[in-house]
Amino acid sequence: MTQMTIRRAGPADAEALAEIGAETFADTFSHLYPPSDLAAYLREAHSVEAARGYLEHPDYALWLAEADGRAIGYAMAGSCHLPHPDVTPACGELKRIYFRKAWQGGGRGSRLLDEAMLWLERGGPRAIWLGVWSENLGAQKFYAGRGFEKVGEYNFRVGATFDHEFIFRRG
């Protein structure tokens, strides 16, 4: 396979982020939701307008993993908004990290996570949080191997459907 590069996303990347965000979320989770719930969530969370909003927000950062000039993965980090009593304004959150199916594995997720963690800890060590679907055992193992521990649970809304999610924290 072609070599992967990682770069910080900018305003010109809103369309690419919306496309890969919608594609990877649907590929990963479409079997869980009624089509109307999935479509509503994708319109809300993975539109070009939503991507622009994240890119313009000073508390967020996004990265694109690319190969042959095409987005193959992405990550998003920012201030933490998970529903846990220990979350403070000083906490950071890995909000998203996804790869197209053909590009999953091979250490690519670790490289992209490293980029996000460097940004999240740019002012020094702090608590980093993330949410992960309760049945995504592979992701849970990946995060545990990077020092994250399960510290809570919550429900994540996709349209009118709620998923059982785990809250993980490092630091």
Query: What are the sequence ranges of the domains in the chain?
Result: 5-170
pLDDT score for 1: 55
Mean pLDDT of the chain: 95
Asked if residues 21 and 46 have their Cβ atoms less than 8 Å apart, the reply is yes
Range 41-57 average pLDDT = 96
Q: Taking residues 128-155, report their average pLDDT.
A: 96
Mean pLDDT calculated for residue range 53-75 = 96
User: How many Å apart are CA 11 and CA 20, to the nearest integer?
Assistant: 15
The model's confidence at residue 82, banded by pLDDT at 50, 70 and 90, is very high
Residue-level pLDDT at 106: 85
C-alpha span between 114 and 170 (Å, rounded): 13
Pairing of strands 128-133, 92-99: parallel
- % of the chain beyond a pLDDT of 70: 99
CATH topology of domain 5-170: Aminopeptidase (3.40.630)
| Residue 26 in this model has a pLDDT that exceeds 70 | yes
What is the total residue count of the chain? Answer: 171
pLDDT tens figures, 112-139:
999 999 999 999 889 999 999 999 999 9
pLDDT, residue 117, reads: 97
Mean of pLDDT values over 86-100: 96
Which parts of the chain are beta strand (E)? Answer: 5-8, 60-67, 70-79, 92-99, 128-133, 149-158, 161-170
CB 167 within 8 A of CB 152: yes
Tell me the average pLDDT across 68-84: 96
Mean pLDDT computed over 33-41: 94
User: DSSP of 125-170, one letter per residue?
Assistant: ---EEEEEETT-HHHHHHHHHTT-EEEEEEEEEETTEEEEEEEEEE
